[in-house]
């Protein structure tokens, strides 16, 4: 069952953090690693913020291809300020492929689920958290569940 565009937009509105720091990035990355291990899922993970990679981990059974997918998904999130899954679903609804549009370089951008914008409340786009290795909706869900957990930890 695919998520609707409305649900994906709601996630982007609701999954904003109270704050984001290098420590938050580390906690988010470690949480993603633990969650993937609990699901016995082999994924590569990246938390990108403040113009740099703050957390990166490639589980056994992943490859360099996963890192390339992460880079392309992250680039899409940073350029369009939407989750990579939203971009893919939106373009599918328009009956077009994101990567084949004339203004998109498919070697730099892709619209496959698994990368999600990192925002703080009343702030802008600070980065992206990205997972690669599962079917795209599962990558997306792993990321949104981890962000929701971090968000709950930030509540007083």
Sequential pLDDT tens for the chain (156 residues):
568 999 999 999 999 999 999 999 999 999 999 999 999 999 999 999 999 999 999 999 999 999 999 999 999 999 999 999 999 999 999 999 999 999 999 999 999 999 999 999 999 999 999 999 999 999 999 999 999 999 999 988
Q: What is the pLDDT of residue 156?
A: 81
Q: Which of 106, 119, 114 is nearest to 135 (CA)?
A: 114
**pTM beyond 0.85, yes or no:** yes
Distances (CA, A) of 53 to 19, 95, 122: 18, 34, 23
Bridge partners (DSSP) of residue 116 are 129
Burial 40-62 (b: 16+ CB within 10 A, else e): ebbbbbbbbbeeeebbeebeeeb
What's the farthest any 2 CA atoms get from each other in the chain? 47
Tell the residue number behind the tokens 């981990």, with chain if given: 57
Give the chain's domains with CATH numbers.
5-154 (3.30.450.150)
């Amino acid at each position: 069952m695919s998520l609707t565009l409305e649900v994906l937009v709601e996630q982007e509105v609701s999954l904003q953090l109270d704050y984001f720091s290098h420590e938050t990035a580390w906690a988010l990355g470690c949480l993603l690693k633990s969650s993937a291990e609990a699901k016995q899922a082999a994924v590569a993970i990246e938390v990108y913020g403040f113009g740099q990679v703050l957390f990166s981990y490639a589980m056994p059974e992943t490859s360099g291809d996963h890192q390339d997918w992460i880079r392309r998904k992250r680039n899409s999130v940073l350029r369009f300020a939407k989750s990579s899954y939203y971009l893919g679903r939106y373009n599918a609804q328009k009956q077009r492929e994101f990567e084949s549009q004339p203004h998109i370089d498919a070697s730099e951008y892709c619209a496959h689920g698994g990368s999600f914008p990192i925002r703080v409340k009343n702030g802008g786009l600070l980065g992206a958290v990205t997972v690669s290795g599962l079917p795209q909706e599962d990558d997306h869900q792993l990321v949104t569940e981890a962000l929701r957990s971090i968000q709950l930890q930030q509540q007083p």
